[in-house]
Copies of this chain bind each other. A is one copy, B any other.
């Protein structure tokens, strides 16, 4: 059975809320409470989880530890993922310094830049490779995820090269709607799109003149 992508996208939120409940020593949680924390209806939570079998008993709530373990296993969160970063400019260096990846099992093991000024330098314990050497470095040391933090003009080319190297998951920070083959998964981190989705609601009461 094909699970709808929107369901897959909600599961990490459930896992995160459950991890926080587990850290507080909670053993059981209702779909009502979980829904309230996450701004999702309890019915949605029950429906999403029903794709993966039976969790919890009617009227008794979910066992926090058990559901969390299941979600971690479903999502592959209980393992280490190797990532490569292309683009070591200001944005790339902020990504390298981001402390949220490692605790969740995501590790950047290589970094690239096309600026000769940066190639060979150390950033956050990694030597910056030349983007020209992408194929060579990835052949020696394959990764699961490619992070793209290059300017819009070169992003599609970098993504094509990552895909040719066998990378099947891409986190794209460049402001383009990149094209990838159907077997490749891509997610966009795009603050402008997020802002533009909110200004619709702001028009009436804006501070700007």
Query: Does A16 sit at the interface, judged by CB under 8 A?
Result: yes
Among B79, B145, B189, B195, the residue within 8 A (CB) of A106 is B195
Contact call A208/B79, Cβ cutoff below 8 A: yes
Contact-size category for A: 35 or more
Interface residues of A, Cβ cutoff 8 Å to B: 5, 8-9, 11-13, 15-17, 37-39, 74-77, 79-82, 90-91, 93-95, 97-98, 100-101, 104, 106, 142-145, 168-169, 171, 175, 177, 185, 187-189, 191-203, 205-208
Contact call A16/B195, Cβ cutoff below 8 A: no
- Asked, given contacts A75-B200, A175-B100, whether A195 binds B94 with beta carbons under 8 Å apart, the answer is no
Contact call B208/A169, Cβ cutoff below 8 A: no
Contact call B202/A81, Cβ cutoff below 8 A: yes
State how many angstroms separate the Cβ of A93 from the closest Cβ of chain B: 7
Beyond A17-B177, A95-B191, A104-B192, 10 additional contacts (C-beta under 8 Å) are A9-B197, A11-B200, A76-B200, A76-B202, A77-B196, A90-B94, A143-B207, A169-B202, A187-B197, A189-B191
Q: A17 CA to B196 CA in the complex, in Å?
A: 14
Contact call A144/B101, Cβ cutoff below 8 A: no
Contact call B145/A198, Cβ cutoff below 8 A: yes
User: Which of chain B's residues has its CB closest to A193's CB?
Assistant: B12
Contacts of A188 in B (CB 8 A): 194
Among B15, B76, B91, the residue within 8 A (CB) of A98 is B91
State how many angstroms separate the Cβ of A134 from the closest Cβ of chain B: 15
**When A and B form their complex, which 8 residue pairs have the shortest distance between CB atoms, in order from nearest?**
A94-B94, A12-B196, A142-B207, A76-B199, A187-B194, A169-B198, A76-B203, A9-B197
